[in-house]
A and B are shown apart, each in its own frame.
Chain A
Amino acid sequence: MSVKQISAFVENKPGQLAKFTEILNNHGIDMRALSLAETEDFGIVRIITDDSYKTATVLKDEGYIFSITQVLAVEIPDTPGGLFQVLNVLREKDINVDYMYAFTARKQDVAYMIFRVADNDAATEVLRQNGIHLLEPDDID
């Protein structure tokens, strides 16, 4: 099972991220995860919010260019080797991770991470088989 990530184009210059988050704040959108990939000139802000539909609508109205990507939200035991266990499962199935980033946990003793992989279905299946818990869209909204 995957969740919707919104990736938006922002210029790499002062104030751009502040403006972006201000807009979300003004519309009462709660960000659950954020990651930034940047070049010298521009960056891609990747966010998971409590309401991806509303977020998309707001960003569109504000003139942002963005895309929606399905990513995996994976629960990881907050113990040494927790992340390794997940990555090892993917390695054995030869599933490449394009990028990943951490995510706020509301439960103790676990961490959450967003995984962007080439094949969501294959990854979901193999993770579940190995007893790794994935979040549903409802867990985030």
Chain B
Amino acid sequence: MNNYYQPEAECASREQIKAWQDERLVAQVQHVWNNIPYYKKLMEERGVKPEHIKGTQDLHLLPFLTKDDLRECYPYGLLAEPLENCVRIQSTSGTTGKRVVAFYTQDDINLWEDCCARALVAAGASKSDVVQVSYGYGLFTGGPGLNGGSHKVGCLTLPMSSGNTDRQIQFMTDLGATIICCTPSYAAYLAETIEEMGVKDKIKLKAGIFGAEAWTQEMREDIQNRLGIKAYDIYGLTEISGPGVSFECCEQGGMHINEDHFIPEIINPKTGEVLPYGEKGELVFTSITKKAFPLLRYRTKDICVLNPEPCACGRTLIRMSKPMGRSDDMLIVKGVNVFPSQIETVLLNKGYPANYQIIVSREGYSDQLEVNVEMTPEMFSDNLAEISAKEKELVEALKAMLGIYAKVRLVAPKTITRSEGKAVRVIDKRNLY
């Protein structure tokens, strides 16, 4: 099977990939230096000038960017193109209420959609396929990214967006969708619902592209068996473009990084030192082709391993493992980024003490988020309805901040563990990594 969308890039020689990266990196550094005063200043503080960067071997000289920088620069501080050249924003939740906004020129969108098209074709998509995109559309990159990729391949695209499971299954059966794109937990939920409705024989799916949250090998096998498909992983982040930064091929042995657009590095998250291939550390990306929002050495906080071994699929693009954890405290719940600090902000705004505990669990394949809050004399009342009303208000405020439902559980005072040093704020019972 010849499942390449852009074989000239996906199967290029390593020398060719290195040559592209060197040339594009040099140009990108100059572009950033000329157009982003914030990053220029970071470079100057380290005594680095564009002429010092002659190729990928000099990448380590450049300063890192983190989500804190993105927050600091919100909204336009890292924009490298005049607004008249930009055609789109996408956004992701950030900490303490400030969102991350990424900008795109039309070329940036094209290359992002190319990356998604590569992922779709690797999963077996061709013009004759019907692709059901059940990622959220809107600010979230999942829907727009796969939608664009599907158009590029020439598939009939069903822009379903997330939710409304009955309608999803109706379109899936009536229109004969062959490829589904959604979060793995939603795929598992769809599989369950399809079984309950007894319509499995009407399903024509052959493949699914699942990303935006962590999933285990067991979950993959379960989804594959229940839907009768091959399940492909996809990885991406809004800061770097969106889904399709890397994608899985038929070998299902790690995700190929689109290295002609993004240079990966693995670093020691504590020291920032670059680690050799094969070692576990934090994944860092440098965008070398995007123009509007060209992040250099952006720390993803995802912990993983890079594998440069040739892949049996014929692609020469390096592979990354599934993320094995985070180097910060971010949680991914139902595909949504959740920072404990966001929850803390809501609690403090609503007059609660900052003593809370976040518990993430999984029921079946669906994430559950629970926030334990200690009862206070101010909140207490002899009237159950009054307490419930306050509890409901907190649930609404959390939903407005996080974008997802969190169950609030009121607990007795002083029952949340106060450890000696850092309080145990988060209990993740999912065992995802």
Interface residues, chain A, CB within 8 Å of chain B?
Answer: 5, 7, 9-11, 16, 37, 39, 41-42, 44, 46, 63-67, 69, 98, 116
Instruction: Tell me the bound Cα distance from A116 to B381 in angstroms.
Output: 13
Enumerate chain A residues within 8 angstroms of B388, measured Cβ to Cβ: 39
Instruction: Tell me the bound Cα distance from A104 to B284 in angstroms.
Output: 71
Check if B382 sits within 8 Å of A7, measured CB to CB: yes
Instruction: Tell me the bound Cα distance from A92 to B415 in angstroms.
Output: 46
Q: Which of A11, A16, A41, A67 contacts B380 (CB 8 A)?
A: A67
Check if B382 sits within 8 Å of A46, measured CB to CB: yes
Please judge, given known A-B contacts A65-B375, A65-B412, whether A9 and B380 are in contact too, CB under 8 Å.
yes
Check if B381 sits within 8 Å of A67, measured CB to CB: yes
Check if B376 sits within 8 Å of A65, measured CB to CB: yes
Instruction: Tell me the bound Cα distance from A37 to B388 in angstroms.
Output: 12
Identify which of residues 359-388 in chain B touch chain A, using a CB-to-CB cut-off of 8 Å: 375-377, 380-384, 387-388
Identify which of residues 109-137 in chain B touch chain A, using a CB-to-CB cut-off of 8 Å: none
How many CB-defined contacts (below 8 Å) exist between A and B?
44
Most buried by B among A10, A16, A42: A42
* Tally of chain B residues near chain A (CB < 8 A): 17
Enumerate chain B residues within 8 angstroms of A41, measured Cβ to Cβ: 409-411
Enumerate chain A residues within 8 angstroms of B381, measured Cβ to Cβ: 67
Instruction: Tell me the bound Cα distance from A123 to B76 in angstroms.
Output: 65
Check if B382 sits within 8 Å of A65, measured CB to CB: no
Given contacts A44-B382, A63-B414, A116-B382, list 18 more A-B pairs with CB under 8 A. A5-B382, A9-B380, A9-B410, A11-B411, A39-B388, A41-B411, A42-B375, A42-B410, A42-B411, A44-B384, A44-B387, A65-B376, A65-B380, A65-B413, A66-B380, A67-B380, A67-B381, A98-B383
Instruction: Tell me the bound Cα distance from A7 to B380 in angstroms.
Output: 9
Enumerate chain B residues within 8 angstroms of A66, measured Cβ to Cβ: 380
Check if B382 sits within 8 Å of A63, measured CB to CB: no
Check if A67 sits within 8 Å of B382, measured CB to CB: yes
Check if A69 sits within 8 Å of B375, measured CB to CB: no
Instruction: Tell me the bound Cα distance from A64 to B374 in angstroms.
Output: 11
Instruction: Tell me the bound Cα distance from A9 to B382 in angstroms.
Output: 9
Please judge, given known A-B contacts A9-B375, A44-B384, A46-B382, whether A63 and B410 are in contact too, CB under 8 Å.
no
Enumerate chain A residues within 8 angstroms of B415, measured Cβ to Cβ: 11
Interface residues, chain B, CB within 8 Å of chain A?
Answer: 375-377, 380-384, 387-388, 409-415
Enumerate chain B residues within 8 angstroms of A37, measured Cβ to Cβ: 384
Most buried by A among B376, B382, B388, B414: B382
Enumerate chain A residues within 8 angstroms of B384, measured Cβ to Cβ: 37, 39, 44
Closest to A42 in B: B410
Instruction: Tell me the bound Cα distance from A7 to B413 in angstroms.
Output: 15
Closest to B378 in A: A65
Enumerate chain A residues within 8 angstroms of B413, measured Cβ to Cβ: 63-65
Enumerate chain A residues within 8 angstroms of B377, measured Cβ to Cβ: 65, 67
Q: Which of A10, A11, A69 contacts B382 (CB 8 A)?
A: A69
Closest to B383 in A: A98
Closest to A71 in B: B382
Closest to B407 in A: A41
Instruction: Tell me the bound Cα distance from A8 to B384 in angstroms.
Output: 11
Instruction: Tell me the bound Cα distance from A34 to B339 in angstroms.
Output: 42
Instruction: Tell me the bound Cα distance from A9 to B381 in angstroms.
Output: 9
Instruction: Tell me the bound Cα distance from A7 to B386 in angstroms.
Output: 14
Enumerate chain B residues within 8 angstroms of A63, measured Cβ to Cβ: 412-414
Enumerate chain B residues within 8 angstroms of A44, measured Cβ to Cβ: 382, 384, 387
Instruction: Tell me the bound Cα distance from A46 to B381 in angstroms.
Output: 11
Closest to B415 in A: A11
Closest to A8 in B: B380
Closest to A43 in B: B384
Q: How far is the CB of A58 from chain B (nearest CB, A)?
A: 15
Closest to B412 in A: A11
Q: How far is the CB of A40 from chain B (nearest CB, A)?
A: 9
